[in-house]
Amino acid sequence: MRNLLMKVNYDGTNYDGFQTQPQGNTIQDRLEQAILHLTGEKLKITASGRTDAGVHAYGQPFNFTTSSRIPTERWCLALNARLPQDIVVTEAREVPLTFHSRRGAKRKTYRYTINGNRFPDPFQRRWQLHHPVKLDIPAMQQGLTQIIGTHDFTSFASRRSTKTSHVRTIFEAHMEVDRSMCRPSSSDQGVIHTYITGSGFLQHMVRIIMGTLIHVGEGKIPADKVAEILAACDRSHAGPTAVAMGLALWSVEYDEIESE
Helix (H, G, I), strand (E, B) or coil at 19: coil
Domain 106-251 class? alpha beta
| Rounded Cα gap, residues 56 and 13, in angstroms | 7
H helix or E strand, kind and range, residue 58: strand 56-66
DSSP-H helix ranges across 22-68: 27-39
Asked whether this chain's domains 2-103 and 106-251 adopt the same fold, the reply is: yes
| Rounded Cα gap, residues 187 and 149, in angstroms | 35
Instruction: Please list, residue by residue across 119-128, b when 16 or more beta carbons sit within 10 angstroms of its beta carbon and e when fewer do.
Output: eeeeeeeebb
Does 260 score more than 70 pLDDT?
no
CATH number of 2-103: 3.30.70.580
Q: What is the value of pTM for the model shown? A: 0.95
- Is 110 annotated to bind a ligand? Reply is yes
**DSSP labels, 122-136:** TTTGGG-EE--S---
pLDDT of residue 24: 83
| 106-110, 159-163, 222-226, range with the lowest pLDDT | 159-163
Residue 62 Rama label (left phi>0; alpha psi -120 to 50; beta):
beta
Q: Where are the domains of the chain?
A: 2-103, 106-251
Rounded mean pLDDT of 173-192?
Answer: 95
pLDDT digits (tens, 9 = 90+) for 138-157: 999 999 999 999 999 999 99
**Does 52 qualify as catalytic in the annotation?**
yes
* Set 52, 121, 188, 255: catalytic member: 52
Does 163 score more than 90 pLDDT?
no
Among the listed residues 123, 150, 151, the one whose alpha carbon sits nearest the alpha carbon of residue 230: 151
Does 14 score more than 80 pLDDT?
yes
